[in-house]
A and B are shown apart, each in its own frame.
Chain A
Amino acid sequence: QVQLVQSESELKKPGASVKVSCKASGYSFSSYAMNWVRQAPGQGLEWMGRINTNTGNTRYAQGFTGRFVFSLETSVTTAYLQISSLKSEDTAVYYCARDFAMVSDFWGQGTLVTVSS
């Protein structure tokens, strides 16, 4: 069965970096793009962008350029989200989600990133 397993919660200080992993199993990893979605505390879902798991091409949504980087390690069927120069407003749950025809059909369990001094 399709599974997306994300890394554990992180507590980081402002200015630090964090790398969230998303390990995929149960399907052909390179056949589906991977979306990343953010949910700030008490807020809705916000699409951050996606990465083509076949070519590595990325598409970042407005507001998620510069400090946010999507990457892959296809040998271990894992996608990554790296956020640099963390700010308190980056505190959120970050989800990876498999892209099926521009719909996120399977989601990871989410990774809480807390940015606090």
Chain B
Amino acid sequence: SYVLTQPPSVSVAPGQTARITCGGKNIGGKSVAWYQQQKPGQAPVLVVYEDSERPSGIPERFSGSNSENTATLIISRVEAGDEADYFCHVWDSNTDGNVFGPGTKVTVL
């Protein structure tokens, strides 16, 4: 089955840029989505889909890229409210299965 990797944690100062990576074999050929979960047990929120598209209501500060073996969620001008767990996600066409990365905890210093 397809495997995604993420760093366990990323720390960033307010106003700076956070970059959260998601690794996977040839992930550049897949469509990547990103979810924000403020606290465990709270409903995740879709913040990026199709690598770099933002759903309605998501600030422009959230963007994404995807190439070769790494996809990246970029949070610009980080705010305290961005502190959360972030999960990447792909659909694996080989198994017709959805795959989540293990998650990255973003801490705002």
Contacts and interface: CB of A to CB of B under 8 A. Distances in A.
A70 interface: no
Given A35-B98, A47-B97, A62 B1 contact: yes
Contacts, number: 66
Interface residues of A, number: 27
Contacts of A71: none
A90 B89 CA distance: 23
A107 B44 contact: yes
B100 interface: yes
Interface string A90-103: 00010101001011
A59 B31 CA distance: 20
Interface stretch (A11-19, A38-46, A79-87): A38-46
The number of chain B residues touching the other chain, given as a range, is: 20 to 34
A110 B41 contact: yes
A109 B99 contact: no
Nearest to B49: A103
A93 B33 contact: no
B23 interface: no
23 contacts: A35-B98, A37-B100, A41-B40, A44-B87, A45-B44, A45-B89, A45-B103, A46-B100, A47-B99, A47-B100, A59-B97, A61-B98, A62-B1, A93-B40, A97-B44, A102-B98, A103-B50, A104-B33, A104-B46, A104-B89, A105-B46, A107-B44, A112-B41
Interface of B: 1, 31, 33, 35, 37, 40-46, 49-50, 55, 85, 87, 89, 91, 96-103
Given A47-B99, A93-B41, 11 more contacts: A45-B37, A45-B89, A47-B98, A95-B43, A102-B91, A103-B31, A107-B45, A108-B43, A110-B42, A110-B43, A112-B41
